[in-house]
Each structure stands twice: as C-alpha cells, then as structure tokens.
Amino acid sequence: MLSVWSYTILLLLGKQGPFITLLAVLQGWCILRLQNTLKKNKEADGSKSDLISDPLPVIQWNLFAVQLFFCTGHRCTFDGLRYGAAFIGFDNFNIIRQGVLLALDTFGVSHILPVFGLPLLVTKKHPHVRYDKHRELFLLQIVQVFLIYGLVSVIMVTFSTICVTIQRRHLM
C-alpha cells in the first residue's frame, strides 16, 4: 500500500518530487538509525522495556511529517493549494478523481505516507522477532505508536489554536 501511493504522490509533486523524496527517505532512514542506536545504548545499560514504545522516534516522525508539508511548497492557506495537480494525467474532468488527486498532492507526503510508515518504527525496533510468537506485543506496540502520533498531532493543533486565538485579537 505504501509503495502504490508513493509513486502517485511523486508524480503529483512535479519536478521537485525526486529531490524531496530522496531527502525524505534519507531523513526517515536517519530517524530509524537513531532509534537503533538508542536501543543499543539502553541494552548496554541493562534497562529493557518491551511493553512501552519509545516516544522520541514517534515525535521525530511527526515533526518529519510537518516538515515535509512545508518542504513540498504547501502553505496553510487556500491560495496555497496547487490546483494544477488535480489535472495531471487526465484529459476529461471528473470531480471525484480531481478531488482525490488534489487531496493526495496536499496531504500525501505530509499526512498519508508518514502514517503508513509508522509501523516501520516498530518493525525496525525488533527486526528478528517472529510475528506469530509475539503477535500481541507487536500489535500493542503498533497501537501505542499510532496513539503517540495522534497525541503529538493533537498537542500541536491545540497550541496552534491557542496561538491563532491570541493573534486574532491582535489583528482586529
């Protein structure tokens, strides 16, 4: 599923797509590599906790997703939408298809692909563990990673709302 969406999103990004994708893959690899380094340091210290996922890589993954939104040239305004992306590859107009393409261009790199990539944080943490033996632990950690990601997103939206509320009084 991840690879199917990534080619479509890469096409929609235009000429900046390959460079942004290369940087995104490199940054994602660095996050996963840092997670392995921290895991090795914890094992060397003797502390081991398999039930609780480490929130640091998930927070980094969330900030990575926000960075990708702005790195691809998007803005948080309606005039920041790239309407031309809705018409790439088609001669005739279909409102649903064009809406899906516009949504993929706007949210594909920053919201869809990072959320689909979240299970990598769990599978990279335990690369040699068999799925059938530790299925409950694996599923618990995936749920924890998604919940931490959602919590970080909600905290960011809450602080953004507070800042907008404060700035609204300033602008009026």
For the stretch 18-49, pLDDT in tens is 787 788 888 888 888 888 888 778 777 776 66
Helix then strand count (H, E) for the chain reads 7, 0
For the stretch 89-142, pLDDT in tens is 778 888 888 888 888 888 877 888 888 888 888 887 766 666 666 778 888 888
How far, in whole angstroms, is CA 55 from its chain's centroid? 15
Six-digit token pair at 141? 């950690």
What's the total number of domains in the chain? 1
Whole-prediction pTM: 0.75
- 3-class secondary structure, 2: helix
What is the rounded average pLDDT of the residues 67-79?
80
Of the candidates 119, 151, 108, 126, the one whose C-alpha atom is nearest the C-alpha of residue 49 is: 126
Q: Domain range holding 108?
A: 2-171
**What is the rounded distance in angstroms from the CA atom of residue 71 to the CA atom of residue 84?**
18
